[in-house]
C-alpha cells in the first residue's frame, strides 16, 4: 500500500488530485459546520423577527430582537439544532411555557407583566383551548 502511495505522490497529477480532494473535504466540512452553527440560527432568528414585527407594530425593534434571541436560546437548549425546533402547532407544554416567558419578558407592556406572570397557567390553558377550537372549526 505504501508503495502505491509513493507512486501516486511522485506523479504530479496524483499529488494534485490528493491535495484537491483534501481541500474539498475541508471546505465541505467547514461549510456544513458554518451552516449548522451560524447560518441556520441567523435565518431562524431573522424569520421569527419578521413574523413578530408584522404582528407587533407597537413594540420596539430591540424588544422583538431580544424576544427572538430569548426563544432561540430556550429552543436551542431543549432541541439543539435549528432543524429540530418544533413549529407552533407541535409545541409541548414546556415550549408553550418558554414562549410565554419570552413573550412576557420582551413583548408585553411593563404595566401588564405582573398580571401575566401571576396568571401564567390559566392563560396558557385558555390559549390551548382556543387553539383546539380553531382546529375544530
- Is the alpha carbon torsion for 90, 76, 95, 123 positive or negative? negative
- Total structural domains in the chain? 1
What pTM was estimated for this model as a whole? 0.78
Q: Mind listing the pLDDT tens digit for each residue in 91-128?
A: 888 999 999 999 999 999 989 999 999 999 999 988 88
Domain extent for 119 = 2-136
Per-residue confidence (pLDDT) for residue 16, from 0 to 100: 78
Query: 65: burial class by Cβ within 10 Å (0-12, 13-18, 19+)?
Result: middle
Cell of 135: 382546529
Coil/strand/helix, residue 15: helix
Q: What is the mean pLDDT of each run of 10 residues along the chain (137 residues)?
A: 61 75 88 89 95 92 96 94 88 92 94 92 86 65
Amino acid at each position: 500500500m505504501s508503495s502505491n502511495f509513493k507512486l501516486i505522490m511522485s506523479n504530479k497529477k496524483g499529488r494534485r488530485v490528493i491535495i484537491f480532494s483534501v481541500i474539498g473535504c475541508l471546505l465541505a466540512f467547514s461549510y456544513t459546520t458554518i451552516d449548522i452553527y451560524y447560518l441556520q440560527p441567523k435565518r431562524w432568528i431573522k424569520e421569527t423577527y419578521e413574523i413578530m414585527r408584522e404582528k407587533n407594530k407597537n413594540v420596539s425593534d430591540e424588544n422583538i430582537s431580544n424576544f427572538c434571541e430569548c426563544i432561540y436560546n430556550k429552543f436551542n437548549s431543549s432541541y439543539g439544532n435549528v432543524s429540530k425546533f418544533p413549529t407552533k402547532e407541535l409545541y409541548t407544554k414546556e415550549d408553550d411555557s418558554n414562549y410565554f416567558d419570552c413573550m412576557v419578558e420582551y413583548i408585553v407592556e411593563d404595566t401588564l407583566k405582573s398580571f401575566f406572570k401571576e396568571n401564567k397557567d390559566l392563560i396558557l390553558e385558555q390559549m390551548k383551548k382556543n387553539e383546539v377550537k380553531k382546529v375544530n372549526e
